[in-house]
Structure formats: structure tokens, C-alpha cells
Amino acid sequence: MKKLFLIIGAPGSGKTTDASIIAGKNENIVHYSTGDMLREEVASGSELGQTIDGFISKGALVPLNIIIDTIISAIKNAPVDNILIDGYPRSTEQMIALDELLTTEDEIELVSTIEVRVSQDVAKDRILGRAADAKPGEERSDDSIEVFYDRMKIYTDPLAEIQEFYTKKNLLTVINGERELEPIVAEMEEFIKSNI
């Protein structure tokens, strides 16, 4: 049985950093970031990558079929059974698509959706800090103040519905993401390890 943990959070919440540290420390846990997987496809220079780039550079969501294919292939090809996916779902449409998929999949259990919660001000400071610290060639096309507000709105618009959906299923776990990295990672790791 594959055990799936979804990690959601505003841009700049630190969700990808948190999840990759946890996977790095635990051989039985693997982590995929939807943003990283999509950026890898863009970097490959494929035709699909060019299509994806058109959405990412504007801070827009890539279409449902692309993101669903991305996460399904990550789950199916995961080398271990405990899987963290950060950056999904980002819309009610994505949430429902995964929920329907999971009803037909006996081998995958959604254990929890973990929300890394930060205020808009903290998210903005972190994103602008990341943009200022990026090494030449490693800048993200979407880490700018102009795109930040669009990305934030895209994140917050469906959030209440996503929270309600998973709360009703008793699957929502909220972690305060406004602390130092260490206590956030420790809390998330402890939660994940006690549920696998």
C-alpha cells in the first residue's frame, strides 16, 4: 500500500524545503514537488515543457490533464511506499480529480493533507528574499513581486474549499510555517513518521 501525504502552502511557505529535508533524512520516504517536476520538464526543452513554461512564467496553473499525468506518474514510479507531494492540489478541480482517482485505486491511501500556513507578508518577504539570493542562472521566472500577487491569489482563492473538503474527511493537518525551519521540519517529520 502506498501512503500519500499532500503538502500545500502559499508560495514562500517553505513546503518544498521542509518536505525535501524530511525525505533526505528518511530512506523510506520520497518527495516530489509539482513545481520542480514541471520545471524539469521545461528544462528538458520538450514541446510539453514549452507549453508548461507559458503557464509557469505567468504564475498561472498548468492545465488539469498535465498536472494529473505528472503526479500519477510520480506516484506510480515512486521507489518507496511513503510519498510526499507538495504543491497539489491547487484548485478544487484538482482536489476532486485526485479524490475520484483514489476511489478506484486500492493501492494508494491519502493519509493527510498538510497545510504549511504562513501570512501573505511572510510569504512575500521570503519570495523576494529568494529572488535576491538566487545565483545567476538559477533565478525563477515567477519569483517577482508582479507575479507574486497573482500566485498568492491563485493559492488563496480555492483554499477555504480545500480546507473544508479535507477537514470533513478528517484529513487536514495544519502546521505553523512562520517559525524557523527546524521546528517546522521536526513537527512535520514527527507527524508523517507517526502515520506511516
Binding residues for ligand AMP (CB under 6 A): 11, 34-35, 38, 55-56, 59-62, 67, 87-88, 90, 94, 142, 151
* Cβ nearer to ligand AMP, comparing 14 with 87: 87
Whether the Cβ atoms of residue 127 and residue 148 lie closer than 8 Å to each other: yes
* Cβ nearer to ligand AMP, comparing 68 with 171: 68
Tell me how far, at minimum, the Cβ of 61 lies from ligand AMP, in Å: 4
Tell me how far, at minimum, the Cβ of 129 lies from ligand AMP, in Å: 15
Tell me how far, at minimum, the Cβ of 79 lies from ligand AMP, in Å: 22
* Cβ nearer to ligand AMP, comparing 86 with 189: 86
* Cβ nearer to ligand AMP, comparing 28 with 129: 129
Tell me how far, at minimum, the Cβ of 71 lies from ligand AMP, in Å: 8
Whether the Cβ atoms of residue 112 and residue 196 lie closer than 8 Å to each other: no
Tell me how far, at minimum, the Cβ of 194 lies from ligand AMP, in Å: 26
What distance in Å separates the CA atoms of residue 174 and residue 127, rounded to the nearest whole number? 21
What b/e readout covers 9-31, taking b as 16+ CB neighbours within 10 angstroms?
A: bbbbbbbbebbbbbbeebeebbb
* Cβ nearer to ligand AMP, comparing 55 with 191: 55
Residue in the shown chain whose Cβ atom is closest to ligand AMP? 35
User: Omega into 183 within 30° of 0, i.e. cis?
Assistant: no
DSSP-assigned states of every residue in 117-177: E--HHHHHHHHHHHHHHPPTT---TT-SHHHHHHHHHHHHTTHHHHHHHHHHTT-EEEEET
